[in-house]
Amino acid sequence: MDRKIIELANKLKDKMVERRRDFHRHAEVAWTEFRTAAKVAGVLTELGYEVKAGDEVMAAEAMMGLPSAAELERQTERALAQGADPAWVAKMKGGKTGVVGTLRFAKPGPTVALRFDMDANDAVEAEEEGHRPFREGFASINKGAMHACGHDAHTAVGLAVAEVLAALKGELAGTVKLIFQPAEEGVRGAKAMMAKGVVDDTDVIFGMHVGINLRKTGQLACNTVGFLATTKLDAVFTGVPAHAGAAPETGKNALLAAATAALNLHAISRHSQGASRVNVGVLQAGTGRNVIPANAVLKLETRGVTSAINEYVYAEAVRIVAAAAAMYDVKVALTEMGGAAGCESDPALVERVREVAERSGLFAELLPAGNIGGSEDCTYLMERVQQHGGLAAYVMVGTALAAGHHDFRFDIDEAVLPLAASLMACLAADTLLRPVK
């Protein structure tokens, strides 16, 4: 089976490169992946998958950090102008750009989900000869959007996996679910798919990322550690403006409330059960030297090594922000702009990854684990599967990189595409046919 999968995936290499470059050239940032998602939905449909998108796979109330309605409209128009299928785009109104393809095999078996993220970064791609996407004509034509994290590769790999598994329809058992997630950047998209229940029936889920701290093609980390649970918050303080010389006592000072909040947020106690973080990254306030500031915005984030520790920091943050507002008698509105869970892969599934990787002979170097060193919202889907008694693992597939992630000169080694597709298809096939205890 492995051999067959690898042969099929290798045959799809040119198609993967072509698709990856097409997604790269038409990069779309979080919640605006209309063209990318429409392509994904179209290909999955052609391959015989049952395809759900938009409202069917996203819970509107759990979508965080959405662009404005005007921006969504503008990006929708751009996607259509760049050849997106209008029928699919219509389903994705309001930024609901998630897609799930399901294939049921004849024989009974478990449900295995694979998750791929699709969004680009807010970055202006390098326009210099040394940058291959520019030199070879597939640099982003969408100014300000750039695939600087490899999610273009993830999407292309996901579609190849879909094709490989569809070709093996008669030989597999159970159900495979391919989850194409929007808005991973800023950790905004997974929660809405999780909240809609897309993994509620899932026994095993695999997440995957290329690169990160595996900078050699041919390396594989069978597990990923270092996921921090996080919540991204905007706090908007509203006071009352007043003349700072003539009538300061009639004002209510939003700047002081925000500043008090910022200082005390950084004084949240550490937690005995593990690492935590808090950061106020932005404080904007006031309009003029002689005006009591009536408006202030804080952008902050909390993190924890587990979801529980992040929830502790988050609850403290909410309390402090509200108390600071009360102290200065101003109003405050808090909005969650993003979030991810803390998560650990299940050892039994990591062991299975190692077994499959070793047997496949795909990789020159197998590492027990890579460190993600931050947050990734695939953890929401993984945590949900684990809460229901299922198993989750997240693998890191090495690739040489032209520059680090989120750098405007970022580029992958396309030799990673067939490796990643082979691995993910082998993992799906193996766990469908040989359920992990």
What residues line the site for Zn ion (CB under 5 A)? 149
Q: Which two tokens stand for residue 140?
A: 């982003």
Instruction: Give how far the C-alpha of residue 338 lies from the chain's centroid of Cα atoms, to the nearest Å.
Output: 10
Q: How far is the CB of 360 from Zn ion (least distance, A)?
A: 24
Distance CA 368, CA 350 (A): 9
Contact (Cβ atoms closer than 8 angstroms) between residue 89 and residue 76: yes
Of the two residues 212 and 426, which places its CB atom closer to Zn ion in the complex? Answer: 212
Of the two residues 149 and 278, which places its CB atom closer to Zn ion in the complex? Answer: 149
10 Å Cβ neighbour count for 71? 14
Q: How far is the CB of 82 from Zn ion (least distance, A)?
A: 23
Q: Which stretches does DSSP call E strand in 70-211?
A: 99-104, 107-117, 121-122, 145-146, 173-181, 204-210
Q: How far is the CB of 344 from Zn ion (least distance, A)?
A: 19
Q: How far is the CB of 341 from Zn ion (least distance, A)?
A: 16
Q: Which two tokens stand for residue 198?
A: 């897309």
Distance CA 211, CA 416 (A): 9
Of the two residues 76 and 224, which places its CB atom closer to Zn ion in the complex? Answer: 224
Of the two residues 192 and 378, which places its CB atom closer to Zn ion in the complex? Answer: 378
Of the two residues 155 and 276, which places its CB atom closer to Zn ion in the complex? Answer: 155
Of the two residues 149 and 362, which places its CB atom closer to Zn ion in the complex? Answer: 149
Q: How far is the CB of 149 from Zn ion (least distance, A)?
A: 3
> Which residue has its beta carbon closest to Zn ion?
149
What does the buried/exposed string (b/e) look like for 335-370 if buried means 16 or more CB atoms within 10 Å of the residue's CB? eebbbbbbbbbbeebbebbbebbeebebbeeebebb
Q: Which of 252, 251, 283, 250 is nearest to 266 (CA)?
A: 283
Coil/strand/helix, residue 181:
strand
Of the two residues 95 and 211, which places its CB atom closer to Zn ion in the complex? Answer: 211
Kind of pairing, strands 173-181 and 99-104? antiparallel
Q: How far is the CB of 261 from Zn ion (least distance, A)?
A: 31
Of the two residues 89 and 149, which places its CB atom closer to Zn ion in the complex? Answer: 149
Contact (Cβ atoms closer than 8 angstroms) between residue 358 and residue 424: no
Q: How far is the CB of 37 from Zn ion (least distance, A)?
A: 17
Distance CA 82, CA 74 (A): 12
Q: How far is the CB of 154 from Zn ion (least distance, A)?
A: 8
Q: How far is the CB of 289 from Zn ion (least distance, A)?
A: 43
Of the two residues 408 and 433, which places its CB atom closer to Zn ion in the complex? Answer: 408
10 Å Cβ neighbour count for 3? 10
Distance CA 308, CA 171 (A): 42
